[in-house]
Amino acid sequence: MQVRPDGSRSVPVMDGTERPRGRQASPYLLLTLTPLFWAGNWVLARVIVQDLSPIVLTAARWTPATLLLYLLARHELRSAPRRRDLALMALLGWIGIAGYTVVQYTALEHTTAINGSLVFSTNPVVTVLLAALWLRERIGWRQVAGAVLSVLGVAVILTGGTAAWSQIRLNPGDLLVVFSTLLWALYSLLGRLVLDRYSPLVVTTWAAAASLPPLWAAAWLDLARRPLPPLTPLHWLSLAYMVVFPSLLGFVWWYVGVRALGAGVASIFGNLLPVYTAALSVLFLDETLTAAHVAGGLAVVTGVILATGGSGRNPTREVAVSGSRGR
């Protein structure tokens, strides 16, 4: 018997698969926690990327994360995926793990928080539109209104409720954020093509494994040009956090939500990222909580509720997180 990441238990059967039983986690809860993990990643990465290159940091993050993913999924990996599915999972790794993470970390070297976060907050709109055009997902007025309202809430938080739009100037970092937004939307949408046949844990494990060879090659070339500086306890603690929370839990739970609710609805939860970032700044950077933070946060949460409430799926539906417990 294996204990799963959501606290449920599974029982092995004769064909090597596992049947879930017991307590299950709501995809809404998992999608609410995932941006919190990623907010911590953004905060830490802005500091660490000054010492470690984006490529080296990505390789250092995903190498141990992939090993832990394998240990969790080893029982489900006994049966190899079909060749076509394996190729698609490899593409997911190159796009959503290696590509997205490197581009995101590179952007953090060049853009400001207000510009980068505002640009990335368009991800739900991009994902919803692509899901409607490509995967024929049903998009109603509630999803559109929720996406618009949550984006406006993000804008209020990041601009402080003032007319700061006139101060926004695009730079190379902003363009990289635009590119990373597209990569993440594609990762979410393409994942739907295999999530009906494999668990989120299995898909994430294969994708992470496929991302490692190009990451290792690129990191080796990068280290030849830019040797590692002396690593401090902050580096090691930050890396440990990145491995466990935004990588293992974040990526697996994201695909749980995508499989349960659809890529378009799941993407709305991404707008909780700047809300959590503001909260972390208040807690750890001693920044002041303003009326703009409260008003914008309420708008984002309202947008999430509005969009998910009209998703066309059963809001009470719960999905077990596939894979064995070990985080």
Could you tell me which residues are beta bridge partners of residue 20? 10
Q: Tell me how crowded residue 254 is: count the other CB atoms within 10 A of its CB.
A: 30
pLDDT tens per residue, the chain (327 residues)?
444 554 444 433 323 334 444 456 789 999 999 999 998 988 888 888 888 999 999 999 999 999 999 999 999 988 889 999 999 999 999 999 999 999 989 988 877 555 566 567 667 777 777 777 776 767 778 778 877 887 787 777 766 666 555 555 556 777 888 898 889 889 988 988 898 899 999 999 999 999 999 999 999 999 999 889 899 999 999 999 999 999 999 999 998 998 888 877 787 887 788 788 777 777 775 666 777 777 877 887 787 777 766 444 443 333 333 333 333
Question: Which residues does 303 contact at the CB level (< 8 Å), separation at least 6?
Answer: 145, 146, 147, 148, 149, 150, 151, 152, 153, 268, 271
Q: How far apart, in whole angstroms, are the C-alpha atoms of residue 234 and residue 143?
A: 40
Q: How many CA atoms lie within 13 A of 181 on its CB side?
A: 23
pTM to 2 decimal places: 0.76
